[in-house]
Structure formats: C-alpha cells, structure tokens
Amino acid sequence: MVMNIFVPGLTRQQRDELRTVDVGSDVRFHSLLDVDSLTRAEHLDFQDLLRRARVELDDFDGTVDAIIAHWDFPTSVLAPVLAAERSLPAPSVESVLSFEHKYWSRLIQRRAIPECVPRFAAFDPFDPAIEKSGVDLPFPYWVKPVKSHSSQLGFEVRDRAGFEAALDEIRREIRTVGDAFDEVLSTIDVPEAVRGVTGTSCIAEEIIEGIQAAPEVSMFRGEFVVHGLFDMQRSEDGHSFDRLSYPARSVPSDVQERMLAATESVLREAGFDNGCANAEFMWDERVDRISMIEVNTRISQSHSELFVKVDGTSNHAYATAVALGRRPHPEAGAGRYGAATKHLIGVHSDGVVRAVPTPEDIARLREELPDTVVQLDVAPGDRLSELPNQDPYRYVLATVYLGAADADGLAEAAARAEGFLPFQIDHGAAERFAPRRTA
C-alpha cells in the first residue's frame, strides 16, 4: 500500500534531498500549495491558505498519511492544523503556537530553564507613548515582532534614535505576518499572560554574547531524540550569519549536553510531542552561561544538506519517520565528509543585480569541489532591498553547501568557492536602504 506524505511548498532542492531518504518504495512525497504563496506573499491570509490546502487534500486520489512542515509561519502552523483534522501524528497546534509567539515562548522558557533566559519585555509598537517611554530594558537591546519570518524586522537598538527608526520600519511592515498570526491565535485559548500580546506586538530582549550553537532534535511519543548539533558563525558585525557548520566544534561537549538538556526541558514544558524542532543558544565562555535564543518547531532546511554530507542522509528522514509514527534513528558519521558548512555570500548595501554566476561557473566550481551545492538567491535585475525574507543587515546573493575532511578545511573550501562565483552589483541606490542600518 502506497503511503502519501505532503510537504507544503516542496522545492526542487528538497526533492533532491528526499532522494537520500530510505523510507521504502511504498512512500510518495507530494507538494501541498506552492512556495510563493507560503513564503513570498505580500499579505498572508491564513484562512485562505487553509481552505486551499484542504481542497487539495480532499481532491487527492489516495490516502493522506502524513503532513510535514519545513517552512516558517504560516506553514509551521498550517501543517499541524491539517494533521489534527485528519488524526495524523503531529505536535498540538497550541504547543507549536507557543513557540511561534516569541513572548509566549519566553514565558515557557522562564518556567523551564530560568537560568538560560535573557531579560525581555513585550510592547505595542503602535502605542503613541512608546517612543517617549521606551521599554523597561537598558540600551542596547534587540527589538523584533512577536511573530516574524526569517529574522525580518529584527533590530539591534543602541539608543533612542535607533529605537525610533526601528519602530518606523516595524509599523510599516509588521501586519504582513502579524494579522495572519492573529487569525490563528483567535482559534485557541491563549493563556491569560499572553492575551494582550498580539501578532502586531513586539518583544525587546537583552543582547546576549558568546558562541552560538543549534541543536536539532525530535520528540517521539514522549522520547527525546537528538539529530545533531551545529555551529552558527556570525559576521564580524555580529548581526547576520555567515556560516552554519556541522558537527559543532566551537563549544565543549559538556556545554552541548547542557544545551540539549535545556531544549528537552522547554519542549516538555510546552507539551510538544510527535514533531521535530531546532533550538538556538549562545554560550558566554567568560561566565560559562548558556542562553536560549529561540525554538523552531520543525527541522531546519539549512541543516539538510549538511546532514547528507556528514551522516549520509538528510534530516528529512527524521521528520518523515516521526510524521509516519516511527521512531527516527540518526546515525552520525555515515557520510562522505567529516565536516560540512552552509556558507552565505552576501553584501551589506542596497543595489541592483547586473550579473550572477553562470551555469559554467558553477560547473567549474563543482569540478574543483565535488558535491558542492549552489543556490543562487538573486537574479539579474533584482533590487536587493525589494527581495523577500531578507534580514535587515545583509542581502544574501548565494548559498553554498560544502563538505571537507575536517573543520579546518571548511574555511578554505568556502574561500575557494567564492572565487568561482562572480556577481556584479550596482550599488548606486545604496542610500535608499540606509535607514534600516541606523537601528
């Protein structure tokens, strides 16, 4: 009997990664809805997406045996809603929303792992008094929406002027995701402590410093299963990610164990089960303190190709197993490489893309560095500041996945890869985006 697994917004790269997953000849993967509707819409309408997804599933000529989310909101909530309607294995909608809502998530973390939670405060960016009163945290701090997508509208503010500039940007764009998030929140019984903090609210958080790492795990019928742990290297200014490397080597093994224990505690506190998750932590070596940044209720697509290179199979295998009601069985070190990295090529100022690497450029790179995967994130004619899902401090031009014998070889491989991938950017309009940098 064929088992049908639906993945909202299934991409070509995801299909390629799924080929590494040994789930048996009786399993078929299908895309549900399209990527643009889920990740690039100028205005999200959750109920419309839910209606369209229900129609696609109802019209499918076969059984619907699992639904897996690989994208941020709205997909991250859409999948468990649809799974619950069909009595399929998935985390509860409430547990997923509790992590999607940054303030609610912090409250859960403060109950479960108070020693790992930075100071935080919620506020309404549309409150006329907020510009005068500010928030109850000393500068500098981060401000971000309670619900955003791919680090959008997150700003480090160092003074009142930076706070006001961030508010201007947030007020213009927060409803794109916030209104749809409020649609979903209205369908559940939100805890009293969270009710006044809506999808168009924000959270301010103490800035934490140190070395960043990210565990990826699953909860399967109450059992905590570890997939792996990743290093997250930031750019020199500390605002954006340059590389994601696997396996983690920047933090000691005992610190990794503490990160995993904290992740498990938080997931259990939220009642999260029968799903995958990844968490982000910062380790301050000076005081030997770990601080949780956030929890995402899905596998990370950024991890998938790295798992393939080091462990021989992508994390799609673990998500697939859990969604089908099977325990995942990660096997470390079964891949071709001892280490792997996701390397981002980007620029910090606005401009128009005039030229990108050609297929021949990429082919020469792959001859030099076999198994390299290149994802071009821009095309000729694109204005960088108008691209969707960019963080406020850096525009990503390309994403490169590389393998090496060990961690020392990754930096050299990344530098060599950049030499094969020429971009031409006209930065004549850079001043158009300058206000976002002032926050």
Same domain, 198 and 240: no
Same domain, 57 and 91: yes
Same domain, 202 and 217: no
Q: Kindly calculate the radius of gyration of the chain based on its CA atoms and give it in whole angstroms.
A: 21
Same domain, 262 and 334: yes
Q: Is the peptide bond before 370 cis (omega within 30 degrees of 0)?
A: no
In what order do the strands lie in the sheet containing 27-32? 27-32, 3-8, 66-67
Tally of domains in the chain:
3
Place of tokens 């939100």: 190
What DSSP letter does each residue of 373-404 carry, written as one string?
EEEE---TT-BGGGSTT-BTTBEEEEEEEEEE
**Between the CA of residue 83 and those of 86, 275, 323, what are the distances in Å?**
5, 11, 9
User: In the prediction, which pLDDT does 359 show?
Assistant: 97
Same domain, 25 and 129: no
Same domain, 152 and 217: no
Residue ranges of the chain with per-residue pLDDT less than 50: 430-439
Q: In angstroms, rounded to a whole number, what is the distance separating the alpha carbons of residues 305 and 248?
A: 15
- 3 state SS of 29: strand
Q: In angstroms, rounded to a whole number, what is the distance separating the alpha carbons of residues 91 and 108?
A: 16
Domain-located, residue 105: no
Please list, in sequence order, all residues whose beta carbon lies within 8 angstroms of the beta carbon of residue 42, skipping any fewer than 6 positions away: 176
Condensed to tens digits (0 to 9), the pLDDT of residues 358-400 reads 999 999 999 999 999 999 999 999 999 888 767 767 899 999 9
Domain-located, residue 314: yes
Expressed in angstroms, the distance from the first to the final Cα of the chain is 56
Same domain, 277 and 153: no
Domain that holds residue 308: 211-426
User: In the prediction, which pLDDT does 234 show?
Assistant: 73
User: In the prediction, which pLDDT does 42 show?
Assistant: 77
Question: What are the DSSP E strand ranges found in 221-303?
Answer: 223-234, 241-246, 275-284, 289-296
Domain-located, residue 113: no
Q: What are phi and psi of 34, to 5 degrees?
A: -120, 155
In contact, 262 and 116? CB cutoff 8 Å: yes
> pTM for this one?
0.91
Condensed to tens digits (0 to 9), the pLDDT of residues 129-184 reads 997 788 999 999 999 999 986 668 899 999 999 999 999 999 999 998 999 999 99
Same domain, 313 and 405: yes
Same domain, 349 and 327: yes
Question: What are the DSSP E strand ranges found in 116-259?
Answer: 120-123, 141-145, 155-157, 202-206, 211-220, 223-234, 241-246
